[in-house]
Each structure stands twice: as C-alpha cells, then as structure tokens.
Amino acid sequence: MGLKNCPQCGKLFLDNPVGLCPECVAQEERDEARVGEYLREVKTKASIDEIHEATGVKHKVILRMIRSGRVVSDFAIEYPCESCGAPISEGRVCQNCSKNILDQLKTEDWKKTDNEPVKKYTGSVYTKNLFRKN
C-alpha cells in the first residue's frame, strides 16, 4: 500500500481497497443513503438523470454505485450501455451489443482454427544406435 491521489477530490491518501480518500468514502456513503431513500420513495423506474435531479448526487457517482452493486434493488434504474449508449437496467452492455460481441468472438475463434496448419507426422524415428555402447 502506498500513497495515491484521490480520483474525486485530488487529495493525497494512503491507498485502500475502495480507491478513494476517507472524506470521499464518507461522502459517497451519504450519497448512497440519499439515492436509496429516493428509490424507496419513488418505487418505479428511474433514470440516472432523475436520480441526479432529485438527490443532487453526481452522475458518475450514481453509475459507480450501480456498477459496483451497491444500489441493487427491485427498482428498474436505467443507465447507458457502455458500448452504444442505449438505456439498460442491468449489466454493462445491452443485449444487442452482447450478441455482437459474442458473434465477433465466434468469428475470431473460427478464423483462428481455420488458419492453424494441420500437423502431419512425416518423420520417422531410428533408435538402433541410441542405446548402443561404443
């Protein structure tokens, strides 16, 4: 563990598993409580923009909470797909992007197996002189 700059406020702190300084960790916990309280009040679908407007919590912080699993609930929270930006309520990419990624991986796998040369046994081994003493 070494010294590190906090990615949120820029202060120097002793590195920890959270990756934030103690002040920002405390602030994020307060933000998480506000977001949770808002979601319990609303009880319906909410976008990140709506959560931001109601609570004042930054978009980036809300996304980090959702992706780290700290804001997991029965509520449908919509956030953008990391690939195309379409609204999703779970995972990191939408179903279309997920399908495209899988198709690309399958294509690459086929290319990889098609380009491998077929190894044939063409030589022979002679052991006659191998164990012979001079």
pLDDT digits (tens, 9 = 90+) for 55-114: 999 988 888 887 777 776 556 677 788 889 898 877 888 999 999 999 998 887 766 665
Q: Which two tokens stand for residue 92?
A: 């990191």
What are the residue ranges spanned by the domains of the chain? 3-115
Of 106, 108, 8, the residue nearest 58 (C-alpha): 8
Q: Which two tokens stand for residue 105?
A: 């991986």
Once rounded to an integer, what is the mean pLDDT over residues 122-128?
63
